[in-house]
Amino acid sequence: MKIKDMYNKEIPLISFEIFPPRKETNIESIYNTIDILSSLEPDFISVTYGAGGSNDNKTMEIASIIKNKYNIEALAHLTCITSTKNDIENTLNNLKENNINNILALRGDFPSESYKQNKLEYKYASDLINHIKTKQSFSIGAACYPEGHIECKSIRENLLHLKQKVSMGAEFLITQLFFDNEYFYDFNEKIKEFNINIPISIGIMPVTNKNQLLKMISLCGANLPDKFIRILTKYEYNPEALKEAGIAYATEQIIDLLSYGADGIHIYTMNKPEIAKKILSNISYIRKTNKIS
Ligand code: FAD
């Protein structure tokens, strides 16, 4: 099934993101992760793509297991910045052969500053979307940034580029993580001015590890609200307490977003299924409540 068609449901979608394990020897651990996540009955599970296509085959392999063994829709992430048209063509053919109908089309990060001088076959995610669209086989998602993309000078410019992705064929969006829902509410108002009306799954990251968080923040530039910094500071040396607080914070964010009328919640699981499980048990009744009441 195509993910764009799932949003017609009146119940908000719940989905998860996982990433392929770095070492070949850890591949078994991902099966355990999928096993637990599948029992939570998500609408789809997305699988990240290594920067520069470094784990192309693993993304495909894992997405294929989700779709063909667990019968859950898989969303394969695909970046293009280091790819040739030929690479992308091969990947699209492989995805199709593996019965995967959904792609999150991304530019990806530049491997180095100097890489920007290279002759690139794809400059932006919109170029990739344009290519995938010609295949007519896939439902295409794209990334969006409620706090603005880290390279972009203004939110307005960012929204013009987002509009371009939608015009090229993006059918649904997944947001970058954020810790203050007000950014999303502002963003959701602004996109209306740009006539962007496609469904949005909101990316939420439960924070359970301070170093992991700081690494993420350095990559995406998300702002940390004071109350969140207090939690991190207070519990950083007590892993169990930080985990508990991270789950509670994410749960609170999600309840607020669902009561606002979110189309979907996409949990960045960091391959820790027990955390996603706890969050879903915190919202078991809320999850099944209609968007329109
Ligand atoms: P784009 O939409 O192309 O935007 C990149 C920048 O270029 C933005 O600043 C934009 O404003 C600007 N821009 C766009 N079009 C134009 C134009 N025509 N002219 C001038 N400027 C323009 N990375 C991975 O490596 N693997 C993953 O699996 C992965 N998954 C992700 C999932 C989500 C939900 C999100 C939010 C991000 C993910 N990323 C992933 C990170 C992503 O690759 C980076 O954020 C990357 O820097 C931008 O990708 P994009 O697709 O948003 O790029």
Q: pLDDT tens-digit profile of 152-208?
A: 889 999 999 999 999 999 999 999 999 999 999 999 999 999 999 999 999 999 998
The tokens describing 129, both together, are 């979307």
Q: Could you give the 3-state DSSP secondary structure of residue 141?
A: strand
| Confidence (pLDDT) at 179 | 97
Q: Which atom of ligand 1 is nearest to the CA of 59?
A: 28
Q: Whose CA is nearest to atom 20 of ligand 1?
A: 161
**Separation between Cα atoms, residue 144 and residue 124, nearest integer Å:** 13
Q: What is the mean pLDDT of residues 246-251?
A: 98
Nearest protein CA to atom 42 of ligand 1, as residue: 108
What phi-psi label fits residue 136: left (phi over 0), alpha (psi between -120 and 50 degrees) or beta?
Answer: left
3-288: CATH topology is TIM Barrel (3.20.20)
Buried b (16+ CB within 10 A) or exposed e, 132-156: bbeeeebbbbbbbbbbbbeeeeebe
Q: Could you say which of 10, 17, 193, 274 is catalytic?
A: 17
What is the pTM (predicted TM-score) of this model?
Answer: 0.97
Pocket of ligand 1 (CB under 6 A): 48-49, 51, 77, 79, 104, 106-109, 124-126, 143, 149, 151-152, 157-158, 161, 164-165, 174, 176, 203
| pLDDT for 212 | 85
Q: Hey, what are 252's tokens? A: 């609170």
Name the pLDDT band for 12 (thresholds 50, 70, 90). Answer: very high
251-277 per-position pLDDT tens digit? 999 999 999 999 999 999 999 999 999
d(C-alpha 59, C-alpha 277), whole Å: 23
Amino acid at 96: K
Strands 102-106 and 44-47: unpaired
Hey, what are 247's tokens?
A: 């789950």
Residue 37: both structure tokens together: 């996540």
In whole angstroms, how far apart are CA 287 and each of 19, 251, 259?
Answer: 24, 11, 10
Closest of 158, 159, 150 to residue 178, by C-alpha: 150
pLDDT tens-digit series, residues 90-100: 999 999 999 99
Distance CA 72, CA 41 (A): 8
Give which of 39, 131, 132, 73 is closest to 264, Cα–Cα: 73
- Determine if residue 52 is left, alpha or beta; phi over 0 gives left, psi from -120 to 50 gives alpha, anything else beta: left
Residue 270 pLDDT: 94
Whole-number Å distance, alpha carbon 207 to ligand 1 midpoint, is: 22
Work out the angle at residue 73's Cα, subtended by the Cα atoms of residues 69 and 77, and round it to the nearest 5 degrees: 105
Mean pLDDT of the chain: 94
**For residue 55, what pLDDT band results from cuts at 50, 70 and 90?**
low
Lowest-pLDDT choice from 15-19, 45-49, 287-291: 287-291
pLDDT of residue 13: 97
Name the amino acid, one letter, at 166. V
Specify whether 193 is catalytic. Answer: no
Exposed e or buried b for every residue in 252-284, given b needs 16+ CB within 10 A? ebbeebbeeebbbbbbbbbbbbebbbbbbebbe
Return the residue whose CA atom lies nearest to atom 46 of ligand 1. Answer: 108
CA R_g for the chain: 18
Whether residue 56 is predicted with pLDDT greater than 90 in this model: the reply is: no
C-alpha closest to that of 143 among 121, 161, 119, 120: 161
Of 50 and 268, which is predicted with more confidence?
268
Residue 54 pLDDT class (50, 70, 90 cuts): low
Q: How far apart are CA 6 and CA 83, in angstroms?
A: 30
User: How much is the average pLDDT of 43-56?
Assistant: 82
In angstroms, what is the span from residue 143 Cα to ligand 1's centroid? 6
Q: Which tens digits make up the pLDDT trace of 69-87?
A: 999 999 999 999 999 999 9
